[in-house]
Amino acid sequence: MNDLSFFLPCAAGVEEFLAQEVHALTGRAGQDLLTLRGGVRVRADWRDALKLNLHSRLAQRVLVELAHAPYRNENDLYAIASGVAWEIWFTPKQTFKIETTAQHSPLQSLNFATLRIKDAVADRFRAKANGVRPSIETQWPDCRVFAHLTTDSCTLYIDTSGEPLFKRGWRQDKGDAPLKETLAAAMLAASGWWNPETGTVSEQPLYDPCCGSGTIAIEAAQIARGMAAGALRRFGFEKLLPFQAHVWAAIKQEAEAAASDRSVAIFGSDVSHRMVDFAERNAERAGVAQAIEFRGGDALQRMPPVESGVIMLNPPYGERIEVGGVAGTGRFGARESAQVERGAEGDGGEGGDGGEFFPQLATHWKKNYAGWTAWVLTPDLKLPKQMRLKESRRVPMWNGPIECRLFRFDMVAGSARK
């Protein structure tokens, strides 16, 4: 198969890092690799698509662009979709699904637009395959088609990923608000701990003191060992016609051979013993149980696991995940907090609203973590003020639809803002 045009969507703010990662994985650059808003477009070959799916830690999906044309109404969409050689990609015996997204589209109904595209795909198959047409399956389709509409242009893609790529295949134990693996990887890239261009990681120990289900620590440990992000999962391309099992087997073997048992010190802790248990089981499934040390404990009381390093966390915030431990005296009062401390309440995540937690965390860090650098992801843009710390960097990031900042605090003795 010749070069194809791929679009790899990612969270806003992550595009540059994704472009570096795609460059490292495909060797493409210049006009072949464009950093766009919300993703990266790369001209590459089919084999690259398999590699990108297997290795990318930052992309949400790998899509093949099959048509890009102007449209004014639904009939135009029908015509554009009729002109695509869908029969190269799947058979009429397989199921499919169309997902349409739009930015400022003049069309009244996206459902109707989706229906017309679906009709065009089905009619094309019927004409080519003696009246047989593929059926729609909305939950577990064999093949996903994405349509993106702007004010005046329509782009059609076939998806090669299947389930979104943040699903690495190791998570069974979720906890309440797990970070997406892609976002954890973006935090590691933005902090410089991981360089997606060179694939290298820092020598600095990494510690997540509110580790929940362990996402940051597990992602970091897999990166440090050069493990492929998607080694444990299946992909959409396995059901597409260009798929060749022996090519895929060779790519996976190459990836396995490239992994090492290099270890960087990585630590995680959480006030909830239930979460620590989840994190340990997740790390086991992810193949990095030996590379991470998880412990229970309140972030306000835990002492540094090593002399210095990098702290990275998305702390409890808002209603879904409340602060537990000594500062968690809000909703349930001190008695509940004490129970959380001992892990007696099952999920220790509950407690106060964080009002006292952040100033106390800053005090604890200033006193005991001098020499550490802390990276904190939060939707609370006033967090530095609340912590009475001056950030040395702020990186905009999106946690799904929630705008966040990744703040960097350098914990030098006397870094307090009076």
Ligand X SMILES: C[S@@+](CC[C@H](N)C(=O)[O-])C[C@H]1O[C@@H](n2cnc3c(N)ncnc32)[C@H](O)[C@@H]1O
Among 13, 92, 178, 230, binds ligand X (CB under 6 A): 178
Least Cβ distance, residue 193 to ligand X (angstroms): 15
Nearer to ligand X, 42 or 58 (CB): 58
Q: Does 175 participate in binding ligand X (rule CB under 6 A)?
A: yes
Sort 69 into a burial class: Cβ within 10 Å, 0-12 / 13-18 / 19+: middle
Reported as type and span, the H/E element at residue 411 is strand 402-411
Nearer to ligand X, 162 or 324 (CB): 324
Nearer to ligand X, 143 or 323 (CB): 323
Nearer to ligand X, 118 or 180 (CB): 180
Residue 307 per-residue DSSP state: S
Nearer to ligand X, 351 or 384 (CB): 351
Among 325, 330, 343, 384, binds ligand X (CB under 6 A): 325
Nearer to ligand X, 309 or 348 (CB): 348
Least Cβ distance, residue 350 to ligand X (angstroms): 8
Given a contact cutoff of 8 angstroms between Cβ atoms, the answer to whether 238 and 247 are in contact is no
Nearer to ligand X, 155 or 399 (CB): 399
Alpha helices by DSSP H, listed for 299-356, are 333-342
The region of 30-38, 40-48, 171-179, 366-374 touching ligand X under the rule CB under 6 A is: 171-179
Among 59, 300, 310, 383, binds ligand X (CB under 6 A): 300
Local structure of 208: helix, strand or coil:
strand
Least Cβ distance, residue 302 to ligand X (angstroms): 8
Tokens of 318: 């808002």
CA distance linking residue 283 with residue 270, whole number of Å? 15
CA-wise closest residue to 224 among 199, 241, 247: 199
Least Cβ distance, residue 274 to ligand X (angstroms): 8
339, 340, 343, 346: CA torsion to nearest 10: 100
Q: Does 272 participate in binding ligand X (rule CB under 6 A)?
A: yes
Size of the site for ligand X (CB under 6 A): 27
User: Between residue 15 and residue 74, which ones bind ligand X under the rule CB under 6 A?
Assistant: none
Pairing of the two strands 63-70 and 153-159: antiparallel
CA atoms within 13 A on the CB side of 362: 24
Q: Does 352 participate in binding ligand X (rule CB under 6 A)?
A: no
Among 42, 216, 224, 286, binds ligand X (CB under 6 A): 216
Least Cβ distance, residue 368 to ligand X (angstroms): 14
Among 54, 179, 223, 310, binds ligand X (CB under 6 A): 179
Q: Does 348 participate in binding ligand X (rule CB under 6 A)?
A: yes
The region of 125-133, 136-144, 173-181, 197-205 touching ligand X under the rule CB under 6 A is: 173-181
Least Cβ distance, residue 279 to ligand X (angstroms): 7
Among 58, 145, 206, 210, binds ligand X (CB under 6 A): 210
Strand order in the sheet with 33-36: 33-36, 39-44, 4-9, 63-70, 153-159, 143-149, 95-102, 135-136
Contact residues for 16 (Cβ-Cβ < 8 A; gap 6+): 35
Among 114, 215, 329, 378, binds ligand X (CB under 6 A): 215
CA distance linking residue 42 with residue 36, whole number of Å? 10
CA atoms within 13 A on the CB side of 28: 24
Least Cβ distance, residue 194 to ligand X (angstroms): 16
Q: Does 275 participate in binding ligand X (rule CB under 6 A)?
A: yes
User: Between residue 305 and residue 324, which ones bind ligand X under the rule CB under 6 A?
Assistant: 314-316, 321, 323-324
Contact residues for 197 (Cβ-Cβ < 8 A; gap 6+): 20, 21, 23, 24
Number of Cβ atoms within 10 Å of the Cβ of 178 = 20
- How many contiguous H segments (helices) and E segments (strands) does the chain have? 11, 15
CA distance linking residue 157 with residue 220, whole number of Å? 31
Q: Does 304 participate in binding ligand X (rule CB under 6 A)?
A: no
CA-wise closest residue to 193 among 291, 269, 266, 256: 266
Among 49, 206, 291, 299, binds ligand X (CB under 6 A): 299
Least Cβ distance, residue 186 to ligand X (angstroms): 13
Chain residue at closest Cβ approach to ligand X: 212
Least Cβ distance, residue 45 to ligand X (angstroms): 35
Q: Does 349 participate in binding ligand X (rule CB under 6 A)?
A: yes
Q: Which residues bind ligand X (CB under 6 A)?
A: 175, 177-179, 209-213, 215-216, 270-272, 275, 298-300, 314-316, 321, 323-325, 348-349
